[in-house]
Amino acid sequence: MLQGRPERAVKVMPEPEVLNLPLRSRRFVFSDVSVEDGQRVSSGDILAKDPNNYAVPLLAPRAGLVRLKKDENAAPAAVDASRGGGHIIIDDVANLEEHADIAKEELEHIEREMGAGGIKRYKLLVLGAWQFFYDAYTGALPDPQGTPQAIIVSTVSLEPFVARGDAQLHKRLFNFTRGLEQLQSLLEYQPMYLVMPDIKSELANRIRDHIRGYAWAKMLEIPLTYPYDDFAILARRLGLRRDKGPVWAVRTEGVLAIDRALTLTKPCTVRIISIGGTGVNSPAHIKVMPGYPIDKIRDTYVSEPAARMIDGGILTGEALGQEPVGIDTECRGITVLGELQDREFLGFARPGWDRSCYAACYLSSLRKRFRERFTTGMRGEGRPCISCNFCEEVCPAGIMPHLIHKYLYRDLIEEAEQARIDLCVECGLCSFVCPSKLDLRQEFIDAKKLIEQEKEEIRQEQERQEKLRQEEAAKRSAEEKSE
């Protein structure tokens, strides 16, 4: 019940004159640039690749002239390929016919080595559809040549205000079904689970009726309660153990991209994202492409002069800084919240008629349900943990965030790991309900990175010690033979 919920209908944004494609997104760093300054490219050409993520490509959404260097006619920030920062600029944008940047020799080689299935996976990678895949437990990009124990396909998107599945499926149900068939062809005996909301609506009933004839798609209905659409939570609910192999996960837009790549052999260069929040004059779903100028979206939809733009939803999104001037390849929505710049006079004494509270201690608990207007204001300052256990009550992973916080506060990393911090799905609910306003989500993200770094250092040290032992054993063996 929040103000600023986007409508289901999809609006098409005007064609841009310039595209600014960021070389960095949440998962990818496109540091291997494949084009030169001043080069003409066509829609679907590969501009750059991420060498650390199976060479996943950054595709040109439109034809135009590539600009890599900062000059008078370029955008204020230029590409820094060595560090994966900045962006690639495409000037003189033209909406010409798309083509697939696929080498015929490469296809012949793959067919000889891996057959038809290998060709399909290769197409998904080079045509941009593989970017929509996730490892259900880690969120990382899975190996395109790997074998999953199962695939989870989710039509549900519950975080406010990212693009919803019903908007993605609008008038494209046939393409979705065809994409599921293509996805199933990549499997052998592994199951595919289709996640649906447990509601009775016209669209939901149409999807159920449409999919019911396909025995290979196992239906899983979940409540419309955030964050039970999280892939890690879904995998645990289905009994898919992490040690049994990877679990691939893909959302509605990913299935549609699979259909486009494998059925039509066309690059996946268009996104349907949401633009919502209290700072938007008419919240909607919009059809754009990576690199679309953010200032064009701001001028069209943002109504408040002082507003913060967030890449993603209100619970897990990240504030857009000054550098990003275009939509990145993984953007699913933009949330706009008004900046609360002025202090509230006697705010501590207000009864809370216009705001909700998890503890139900505000006067609003006496009201009927109402749409709350969110801002960026915390309405207070951070305080020490009071052990209220609210975070434990809302945690979908079943861990105790308040206990883990206390371990991390005392630098007891091993104890935090034993308390299963690895099960945290980073949904942000603990931070949302915390009366002490502790940023538990970010604290746990940083702690998990630290634990992984320590494990990697231990692994590298063990490998080094093993290598030394082998070298010493080989040296002793050679000395014995010489004697």
Whether residue 416 contacts residue 407, with contact meaning beta carbons closer than 8 Å, is answered with: yes
The answer as to whether 138 is a domain residue is yes
Residue 479 domain flag = yes
Sheet with 333-338, side-by-side order of all strands: 10-12, 284-288, 271-276, 333-338, 307-311, 318-319
Q: Is residue 160 part of a domain?
A: yes
Tell me the DSSP string of 10-52: EEEPPPPS-EEEESB-SS-B--EE---TT-EE-TT-EEEEETT
User: What is the residue type of 368?
Assistant: K
- Asked whether 308 and 280 are in contact (CB, 8 A), the reply is no
Q: What angle do CA 49, 51, 56 make, to 5 degrees?
A: 45
Residue type, 97: E
Domain contains 245: yes
Q: Is the peptide bond before 227 cis (omega within 30 degrees of 0)?
A: yes
Q: Which residue, of 218, 243, 268, is where some domain finishes?
A: 268
6 within some domain: no
Residue 144 lies in a domain: yes
Residue 81: per-residue pLDDT: 42
3-class SS at 328? coil
pLDDT of residue 114: 67
The tally of domains found in the chain comes to 2
pLDDT at 360: 84
Tokens of 338: 């008004």
Find the domain containing 127 and state its range: 123-268
- Pairing mode of beta strands 150-154, 40-41: unpaired
Last residue of a domain, one of 241, 268, 295: 268
Task: State the Cα torsion 444-157-46-12 to the nearest 10°.
Answer: -130
Phi, psi of 298, rounded to the nearest 5 degrees: -60, -45
- pLDDT tens for each residue of the chain, 483 residues long: 788 899 888 999 999 999 999 999 999 999 999 999 999 999 999 999 999 999 999 999 999 999 986 544 444 444 554 444 688 999 998 888 777 777 666 666 666 666 667 888 889 999 999 999 999 999 999 999 899 999 999 999 999 889 888 888 878 888 998 999 899 888 888 999 999 888 777 767 777 777 766 657 788 889 989 999 999 999 999 999 999 999 999 999 999 999 999 999 899 999 999 999 988 989 999 999 999 999 999 999 988 888 899 999 989 999 887 665 899 999 999 999 988 777 777 776 777 888 888 888 888 888 888 888 888 887 778 899 999 999 999 999 999 999 999 999 999 999 999 999 999 999 999 999 999 999 999 999 999 999 999 888 998 999 999 999 998 888 888 888 777
Please report the pLDDT score of residue 105 as a whole number: 65
In-domain check, residue 131? yes
pTM: 0.88
CATH code of the domain containing 133: 3.40.50.11540
Helix axes 202-211, 173-184, angle to 10 degrees: 40
- Whether residue 273 lies inside any domain: the answer is no
Residues 393 and 257 in one domain: no
Helix, strand and coil percent figures for the chain, each rounded to 5: 35, 20, 45
Q: How many whole angstroms separate alpha carbon 97 and alpha carbon 44? A: 9
pLDDT for 84 equals 43
Which residues are bridge partners to 104 per DSSP? none
Angstrom distance (rounded) from CA 28 to CA 433: 31
What pLDDT does 111 receive?
63
User: Which of 224, 243, 268 finishes a domain?
Assistant: 268
